[in-house]
Amino acid sequence: MFISFSIISHEQGDLVRRLLTDMRALQITDFEIILTLNLPERDDFLSELTDLPLRVVRNHTPKGFGANHNAAFALAQGRYFAIVNPDVRLPLSDPGALLASFADSNIGACAPTVLSPQGGEEDNARRFPTVLRLIRRVLGFWSVFGFRGKLDYCPNLSPVAVDWVAGIFVIFRREAFAEVQGFDERFFMYMEDADICRRLQHAGWLVLLVPGWSIVHDARRASHRSIKHLRWHLISAFRYLTGL
């Protein structure tokens, strides 16, 4: 098996259906999709997608982001392991540029350029979090003044090594993911992507942003709307900064 994709749905069937429809066009011949339904939901839409190499996992109890993807990794057969948010669209069918980056044996993970539905480039690749950076992000400091701030890494024509990439769409080399024992499940939601990239680099792997392929992300920033999600974000930020 060449690559395994892990998708987690939180009652997001409509989004998942659109994503899986996009995945039909992927120019990859040997792949599997592990779809985890983290909450009880209707899955009628899956009857339209029986041509896909799809394995469905139904959780009896909801799990966090990292725990769900770790469980999917335990089932995965692929040489590469990709995590994909359900609110992603794949306008380009050939991820060859992204996968070619693994020709360098030092690459542990890579991610594509992420675009908003309006076509703007999102801050997918970032510097490692600091207290000030986290305060700005969690509290929406810049957006209060109508200013999103510049990207940590400027758009480039060539792949670039970065501190970390958001867990929107990331492909891991299987050996690298296994070496760091996957995601730290103490992070229920938020910061687990920064944490795993930091641990990958401590283990000697590189994390790469690859501009040769792009995806579209219709961001649903729950932490900006929900007190519960904001609380999770703050707890995860504290854990990341302190190691507790």
Other beta carbons within 10 angstroms of residue 27's beta carbon come to: 9
Residue 52 scores a pLDDT above 90: yes
Q: What is the residue extent of each domain of the chain?
A: 1-87, 97-166+175-244
Tell me which of 242 and 204 has the higher pLDDT: 204
Model confidence pLDDT, tens digit, residues 85-125:
999 999 988 999 899 999 999 999 999 999 999 998 888 89
- Residue 39 and residue 68 in contact, taking contact as beta carbons nearer than 8 Å: no
What average pLDDT does range 65-86 have in this prediction? 97
Residue 114: strand pairing partners: 215
Query: Among 20-34, 166-180, 197-211, 222-236, whose mean pLDDT is lowest?
Result: 222-236
Does domain 1-87 match CATH 3.30.1600.10?
Answer: no
Pairing of strands 206-217, 107-115: parallel
Give me the pLDDT at residue 224, please: 46
Reported as a single tens digit per residue, the pLDDT across 154-198 is: 767 789 999 999 999 999 999 999 999 999 998 766 789 999 999
pLDDT exceeds cutoff 80 at 219: no
Conformational region of residue 243, where left means phi above 0, alpha means psi within -120 to 50, and beta covers everything else: left
pTM: 0.86
pLDDT score for 58: 96
Percent of the chain at pLDDT > 70 equals: 81
pLDDT band at residue 142 using 50, 70 and 90 as cut-offs: very low
Question: What are the CB-based long-range contacts (under 8 Å, 24+) for 217-225?
Answer: 217/85, 217/87, 217/88, 217/89, 217/114, 217/115, 217/116, 217/122, 217/168, 217/169, 218/15, 218/87, 218/88, 218/89, 218/116, 218/117, 219/87, 219/116, 219/122, 220/87, 223/138, 223/190, 224/140
